[in-house]
Each structure stands twice: as structure tokens, then as C-alpha cells.
Chains A and B, each alone.
Chain A
Amino acid sequence: GENVEQHPSTLSVQEGDSAVIKCTYSDSASNYFPWYKQELGKRPQLIIDIRSNVGEKKDQRIAVTLNKTAKHFSLHITETQPEDSAVYFCAAIPSGSARQLTFGSGTQLTVLP
């Protein structure tokens, strides 16, 4: 089955700096890669996703890049703000997997004022 590894497990940045979280996956047939944000005590919420036919996708301060050859994808947050502090999860869905999301172990991002 699919295996998703996520790094780093914790990340602290100064407000205004950029943050990058990286994930690798094992199943070359995976074709959908979402990122979820989970604030303390709350449910995970989708913030951005990318499909395998696209190399990069941006939404304001958030971007995701995908390298299918290397089987890794990354979340980039620019101009970080205190409200970006949360746990971020990457995930992958292998092709034909009936929507079985495999999550990474999460990254605790702290934006320091």
C-alpha cells in the first residue's frame, strides 16, 4: 500500500518568513495530493490540493509543488502569520484506491511573533 512520509515534524519560523513542509510517497500510481490544516482542538480542513497532471498550484500565500519523478510534494507558505500556526498533514490517494487517503504524520508549524 501507499506510504507517506512527512518532514519536519516540527517547524518554527519568524512571522513574515516562509515555511516549507515536504512529503514523499511510495506508490507511483498516486494521483491526488491534498494538504490539510488542523488548528488546536479542531477538525482537519483542506487548504490546497494538487493532481498528478499539474506541477504547481498556488492560492494566495500557499503553494504546493509536485515532482512525480522523485515522488515528492511540498507545501510552501509565504509571509507567515500567527494564524498559520497549526498542524499540517499531507496525504496521497493512489489511483483506483477508492479514495483511501493515506496521511503523513503531520508537521506542527509555529509562527513566532
Chain B
Amino acid sequence: EAQVTQNPRYLITVTGKKLTVTCSQNMNHEYMSWYRQDPGLGLRQIYYSMNVEVTDKGDVPEGYKVSRKEKRNFPLILESPSPNQTSLYFCASSSGQGAYEQYFGPGTRLTVT
């Protein structure tokens, strides 16, 4: 089944404790991205990647890191989480072959206390 997966789905952590949210897609998509969703603000892009080893900042990259060592994986890293990073996070991918449709993962609900 073609899908985008994220882990963990729910995470409660404390300020300053490094964490990684994994994202994986099995559709051989070139393009992957991370969004955060906050009430009243819609979905805001954090980082995106056009292909392996190619990443770039989105609209709200501060406090986040990403890497794209393999085509299928695009982890989101919070080196020192803060309470303002409490949010719902979505990973998404698209084929990069003239098709723009983005396929979203199930989401990760992160709470930083």
C-alpha cells in the first residue's frame, strides 16, 4: 500500500530534550516536506527536500533540522524543543514528475512542557 508513515504519532517531552520524528514514504517520491499545523494558522511549511541531500527552509524553520540521506526517509529533528513547538506535525511527499499532489502522513502530536 502506497503511504507516508510517521513515528511517533504522539509525544510528550520536556524543554531541551532532543527528539526526532521519523517520516518514511514507499512511493519513490522525490519531494518531501514537513508542516506544522496550529489552530487558526493553517499548515505552515518547516523544511522541504527536492531529492536526496537537497534540503531547504520553508516558512518556519527556526528550531528545526532535517536530513535526507535516503530517498524514502526525511526525519525532523528538534535539537532543543521549546513549548512554542507544541503542535501537530505532518510530513508529506509528492512525486516530482510534474505532479504536484502532496500525500500527507498521519501526523505527530507533539507536546513540549
Contact = CB atoms under 8 A, between A and B. Distances in A.
A89 B104 contact: no
B85 to A, nearest CB: 19
B90 A103 contact: no
Contacts of A45: 104
Contacts of A12: none
Contacts of A44: 43, 90, 104
Interface residues of A, number: 22
Contacts of B24: none
Interface string B1-24: 000000000000000000000000
Contact of B48 (A34, A43, A99): A99
A46 interface: yes
Nearest to A98: B50
A32 B94 CA distance: 14
B68 interface: no
Contact of B94 (A42, A99, A106): A99
What 8 pairs between A and B have smallest CB-CB spacing?
A43-B104, A103-B42, A105-B42, A103-B43, A46-B101, A106-B42, A32-B100, A44-B104
